């Protein structure tokens, strides 16, 4: 199961976002019980930079626990300082 977040990057914040994802978001998510992977994909084909973050979780219960945690709320607050138009979804698929 994947928790996917797609976002646009605020002008001038691309390096800040990439640093945040590598230094803060990845360690946070990978330290959570039930998280199996954290992947960031870069997309610039549409004319402005985007990031797609795919967080692989064991099950919905693990994801719900993390989404409700204070740590995740802080991570999201920091994430939103660099992004706009963030959209998330839960995907249950096999790759």
Q: What is the pTM of this model?
A: 0.89
Report the run of H or E that residue 79 belongs to, with start and end.
Answer: helix 70-79
Which are the contacts of 33, defined by CB distance < 8 A and separation ≥ 6? 62
Percent share of the chain, pLDDT over 90: 85
Average pLDDT over residues 77-82: 96
45 φ/ψ angles, rounded to the nearest 5 degrees: -70, -25
Maximum alpha-carbon separation in the chain:
37
Average pLDDT over residues 18-39: 98
Helix, strand or coil, per DSSP, at residue 13: coil
Gap between the terminal Cα atoms of the chain: 10
Percent share of the chain, pLDDT over 70: 94
* pLDDT value of residue 10: 94
* pLDDT value of residue 47: 67
Fold classified for 2-91 = Alpha-Beta Plaits (3.30.70)
Average pLDDT over residues 29-49: 89
């Amino acid at each position: 199961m994947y928790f996917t977040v797609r976002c646009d990057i605020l002008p001038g914040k691309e390096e800040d976002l990439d640093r945040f994802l590598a230094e803060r978001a990845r360690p946070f998510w990978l330290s959570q019980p039930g998280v199996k992977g954290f992947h960031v994909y870069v997309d610039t084909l549409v004319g402005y930079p985007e990031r797609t973050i795919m967080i692989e979780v064991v099950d919905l219960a693990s994801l719900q626990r993390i989404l409700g945690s204070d740590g995740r709320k802080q991570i999201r607050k920091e994430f939103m300082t660099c992004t706009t138009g963030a959209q998330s979804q839960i995907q249950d698929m096999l790759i």
